[in-house]
Amino acid sequence: MDRRKFFKVSAPLSLTPFIINGTSISTFANTRLLEAMNCAGISERVLVIVQLKGGNDGLNTLIPMDSYASYKAIRPNIAIPDSGAGSFIPLDTTLPIANQVGLHPSMVGFKSLYDSGLMSVVQGVSYTSPNRSHFRSTDLMLTGSDGSAGYNVNTGWMGRYLNHMFPGYAGNPDVIMPDPLGLQLGDNITSLGFSSNAEHNVAINLSYNSPAGYHNIVNEVGGAPLPNVPLSEYGQELQYIMNVESSTNKYAQRITDVYNAGNNSPGANYPSHYFANQLKTVARLIQGGSKTKIFLTSLGGFDTHTNQTDMSDPSVGAHTNLMYNVSEAIKAFQDDITALGLDNKVLTVSFSEFGRKAIENDNYGTDHGNIAPMFVIGKGVEGGVLGTTPDFNEVNTQGIFNNNQIQHDYRQVLTSVLQDWLGGNDTAITETKFDPFLPQKLPLIAPSHYVDPTCYVPPLVLVPITLTSFDARVNEETDVELTWETESELNNSHFIIERSRDGIDFQDMAQVLGGGTTHVPKSYRLIDPEPYFGTSYYRLKQVDFDGTTTIAGTEVVKIDKSSELSFQLYPNPAVNETKLKFVASETTELFINIVNASGQLLRDLRLPAYKGENKIPINLSDFSSGTYFINIVTENGHRSNKKLIVTNL
């Protein structure tokens, strides 16, 4: 049996569009139907999350053009100019005036993306009862919660979604999903967003040591364990990845292999910055074949209480540098994946835990507020601006916009992305705990890339093993040699080899220990030294640790009863004695001589052979350990040669 793979699946799976063993269902018989439904490639789509840590100032990111005077009045020192050097960039003057915004002057890259139809801007984003603590607000947004009383979730929305779509795959690499479900870059603390109730983490976290050395991390992960783990931020992560847990080690090697197989486009022009390096690495991993579904990247420094802008020029300063790095890095990333031909499968979404106050403070900065914009970038977006600029008449005595200025819940954005881009069905959204926002989805995905409900991607089913071959054949000694190979194994306790004369009534013959959980290809071999003569059937069964048994396949062999030259030596290697085993079609005589590796004759025998099965013992007690050759000639002149290994120790 060649390339036979088996699954624990239910029948309806064969009727739905998804990936089987890395092969798109569109290659099967219903290709035309799937193409007609425009489902091709949906299961290969990827989501890249950009987390802006610290609370990005939305008002200096998107400057309100219709109420610029009010904006300038409450930000006399830090407002971005509307004319002259350092003035904002009008984003889209074709929009209604209430929707028109100016981009921060350092965000030339974002302006280019928008003009190319590759960006959707979502204004006024927050959640019910916003919390202005960095830690609490971040936790709420990563867990998919809000600040209302009694609303508390202790798992992450990314973890819940991935666990539903890939049940059992967390920590269990497989040929269908060989990569971690999620991959976090740029932070030495694993994100709460990936946390789940699964036994293993759904994500691997690669942090960084320095901007210049970021790419070296991936090259150092996997393979032989490092003799000295570096004392650095990523050293702890490296140590974890090199932990004894085999699945994590497999991920480490896989990440290395995928990174080495990938490349960035020759013209990729990323800024020299650690955030840009994160996106550069993501592009290379995807190009190298990574099947990771969600990449989480991050950039810190947005807690701009002081010196957000320069005292003499509000168009420069700390926030300007942040906006430049975000804009140019994401623009370079989009250009890179476009040049690599990956832009149809990648969508990027940015968020920050909250915005800043409408008013400036006394330190050329801003304090914690509520609303902030989100950006959705990619070839699949419906470009434009959703929402209007905030109403400055709705600023309270603390200088914060009233909550009635919240126009969009961040979960509306995420629900729209998970379903309309990644293709998660209503059940997946419910398991992610975003189902209240299904009726409130936003038009973020272009019709050309919008996932029709008939194309929603069902959860993948975990395979116990992936069997690539199972073979049974008669070798030179007329033993039956059984061999099989697996590409991966999950909770595989052992194999049972069964034998039958008729292919119906099978009896256990032997057990072979399985590989447990492994993504490394494994080969197995077993010899049946006393096979049935005539037709025999061999069946391979796989047994999980929980006792679940699955039949892998059956092979048939035939040993000719009439062949008197089908000799076997058993055992071989031998100690003191071996048996010459064969079936003779009639009574005859055998002429046997035994020589050593140099051709020296050691024994010359003449023995009777009787019709039927014969087992002739050969005494080897006076033979030293080594390799010998037995030459056999029958009375009618048929010849056979057998190699014999003696191990008399």
Question: Tell me: the pLDDT tens digits for 226-285?
Answer: 445 445 444 444 443 433 233 445 677 788 888 889 999 999 999 998 899 999 999 999
Helix axis angle for 318-339 and 274-287, nearest 10°, is: 10
**220 and 133 within one domain:** yes
Question: What integer pLDDT is reported at residue 162 of this predicted model?
Answer: 95
Question: What integer pLDDT is reported at residue 477 of this predicted model?
Answer: 63
Residues 6+ apart with CB under 8 A from 400: 357, 358, 369, 370
- Separation CA 447–CA 296 (nearest Å): 26
- The residues that bridge with 613 in the sheet, in sequence order, are 583
pLDDT per position as a tens digit, 390-442 = 999 999 999 999 999 999 999 999 999 999 999 999 999 999 999 999 999 99
Alpha carbon 473 to chain centroid, angstroms: 38
The proportion of the chain whose per-residue pLDDT surpasses 70, expressed as a percent, equals 84
Q: H or E element: which one contains 537? A: strand 534-544
Question: What integer pLDDT is reported at residue 513 of this predicted model?
Answer: 93
In this model, does residue 214 exceed pLDDT 90?
no
Mean pLDDT, rounded, for 172-196: 84
In this model, does residue 331 exceed pLDDT 70?
yes
The proportion of the chain whose per-residue pLDDT surpasses 90, expressed as a percent, equals 56
Of 455, 478, 496, the residue at which a domain comes to its end is 455
Res. 199 pLDDT band, cuts 50 70 90: low
Of 433, 455, 477, the residue at which a domain comes to its end is 455
**578 and 470 within one domain:** no
Residue 520 inside a domain? The answer is yes
Alpha carbon 115 to chain centroid, angstroms: 33
Identify the weakest region by mean pLDDT among 35-39, 169-173, 571-575: 35-39
Residue 541 inside a domain? The answer is yes
- Separation CA 351–CA 367 (nearest Å): 18
For every residue of 415-435, DSSP letters joined together read HHHHHHTT-B-HHHHHHTT-G
Of 503, 526, 559, the residue at which a domain comes to its end is 559
Closest CA to 387 of 5, 58, 24: 58
Residue 25 inside a domain? The answer is no
Residues 6+ apart with CB under 8 A from 580: 567, 568, 569, 592, 614, 615, 616, 617, 618, 630, 632
- Other beta carbons within 10 angstroms of residue 546's beta carbon come to 7
Dig out the tokens for 272 from the structure: 């020299």
Mean pLDDT, rounded, for 435-450: 96
Residue 338 inside a domain? The answer is yes
- Separation CA 311–CA 182 (nearest Å): 42
Mean pLDDT, rounded, for 360-373: 97
**474 and 436 within one domain:** no
In this model, does residue 317 exceed pLDDT 80?
yes
Residue 315 inside a domain? The answer is no
Question: What integer pLDDT is reported at residue 564 of this predicted model?
Answer: 42
CATH code, 223: 3.40.720
- Separation CA 168–CA 39 (nearest Å): 25
In this model, does residue 322 exceed pLDDT 80?
yes
Question: What integer pLDDT is reported at residue 635 of this predicted model?
Answer: 73
Question: What integer pLDDT is reported at residue 224 of this predicted model?
Answer: 41
Residue 314 inside a domain? The answer is no
**CA 135, 140, 146, 150 torsion-angle sign:** negative
Max distance between CA atoms of the chain, in angstroms, equals 116
What residue numbers bound the domain in which 601 lies?
Answer: 568-646
Question: What integer pLDDT is reported at residue 565 of this predicted model?
Answer: 55
Alpha carbon 575 to chain centroid, angstroms: 51
Higher pLDDT residue, 60 or 25?
60
Mean pLDDT, rounded, for 137-153: 86
Which residue do the tokens 């409408």 mark?
358
Question: What integer pLDDT is reported at residue 265 of this predicted model?
Answer: 96
Mean pLDDT, rounded, for 64-71: 97
Alpha carbon 532 to chain centroid, angstroms: 46
Q: Are the C-beta atoms of 470 and 1 separated by less than 8 Å?
A: yes
Residue 238 inside a domain? The answer is yes
Higher pLDDT residue, 187 or 416?
416
Q: Are the C-beta atoms of 523 and 208 separated by less than 8 Å?
A: no
In this model, does residue 97 exceed pLDDT 80?
yes
Helix (H, G, I), strand (E, B) or coil at 332: helix
Question: What integer pLDDT is reported at residue 93 of this predicted model?
Answer: 96
What's the domain count of the chain? 3
**216 and 139 within one domain:** yes
**545 and 619 within one domain:** no
Question: What integer pLDDT is reported at residue 367 of this predicted model?
Answer: 97
Question: What integer pLDDT is reported at residue 637 of this predicted model?
Answer: 63
What value does the mean pLDDT of the chain take? Answer: 84
Res. 559 pLDDT band, cuts 50 70 90: confident
